């Protein structure tokens, strides 16, 4: 994810999608590192090949959405100052990315659904870019594949969480 963030940051910069660039380089890449540390510190029953899933309490969910709202408003104005292309979609992309990395760090299966939501926004965002320059179609295809993968991941994380809660 860290390598993808660097590559994606460069591609985003090339089309003035500064929100994507800032989000992936400044939030997703560092959070991927924190998530890795969290996952390594929380193996399921001592098995380092499987992470212990986590259920969030209502207070934490409210806190996450409160933080997301603050991040969204803050980034909206930052992105506006940078004259970001597709400002509204870019702002929503920041929101879904923030929720996704938060849930990833917390080892909650819904991180995959948050990433799937982000994939849909990014498919729309890069489809707009493709209208201007058809070389960006590869990025659209990339996020369609990510969407399929994230939906599959969500299904499997829910199965894992159910299995872990039975034992």
Identify the domain containing residue 101 by its residue range.
Answer: 2-166
Determine the number of helices (DSSP H) and then strands (DSSP E) in the chain. Answer: 7, 2
- Quote the tokens at residue 141: 């295809």
Parallel, antiparallel, or unpaired: how do β-strands 43-44 and 47-51 relate? Answer: antiparallel
Q: Kindly report the CA angle at 34 between 153 and 117, in degrees rounded to 5?
A: 35
Q: Give 156-160 contacts, CB < 8 A, sequence gap 24+.
A: 157/53, 157/109, 157/111, 157/112, 158/109, 160/50, 160/53, 160/109
For the chain, the domain total comes to 1
Half-sphere exposure (Cβ direction) of 80: Cα atoms closer than 13 Å: 7
Q: In sequence order, what DSSP letters do the residues of 76-104 get, joined into one string?
A: HHHHHHTT-TTHHHHHHHHHHHHHHHHHH
Q: What is the CA radius of gyration of the chain?
A: 16
Confidence check: pLDDT of 2 > 80: no
- C-alpha to C-alpha distance for 61 and 53, rounded to whole angstroms: 16
Q: pTM score, two decimals? A: 0.87
Confidence check: pLDDT of 67 > 90: yes
> What proportion of the chain, given as a percentage, has pLDDT over 70?
99
Q: Give 30-33 contacts, CB < 8 A, sequence gap 24+.
A: 31/101, 31/102, 31/104, 31/105, 32/1, 32/2, 32/5, 32/101, 32/104, 33/2
Q: Give tens-digit pLDDT for 100-141.
A: 989 999 999 999 999 999 999 999 999 999 999 999 999 999
């Amino acid at each position: 994810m860290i390598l993808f963030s660097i590559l994606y940051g460069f591609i985003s910069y090339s089309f003035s999608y500064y929100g994507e660039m800032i989000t992936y380089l400044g939030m997703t890449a560092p959070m991927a590192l924190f998530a890795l540390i969290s996952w390594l510190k929380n193996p399921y029953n001592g098995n380092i090949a499987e992470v212990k899933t986590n259920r969030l309490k209502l207070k934490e969910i409210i806190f996450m959405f409160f933080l997301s709202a603050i991040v969204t408003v803050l980034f909206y104005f930052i992105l506006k100052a940078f004259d970001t292309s597709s400002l509204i979609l870019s702002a929503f992309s920041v929101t879904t990315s923030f929720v996704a990395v938060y849930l990833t760090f917390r080892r909650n299966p819904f991180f995959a659904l948050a990433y799937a939501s982000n994939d849909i926004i990014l498919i729309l965002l890069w489809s707009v870019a493709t209208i201007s320059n058809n070389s960006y179609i590869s990025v659209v295809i990339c996020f369609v594949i990510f969407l399929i993968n994230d939906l599959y991941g969500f299904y499997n994380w829910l199965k894992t969480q159910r299995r872990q809660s039975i034992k």
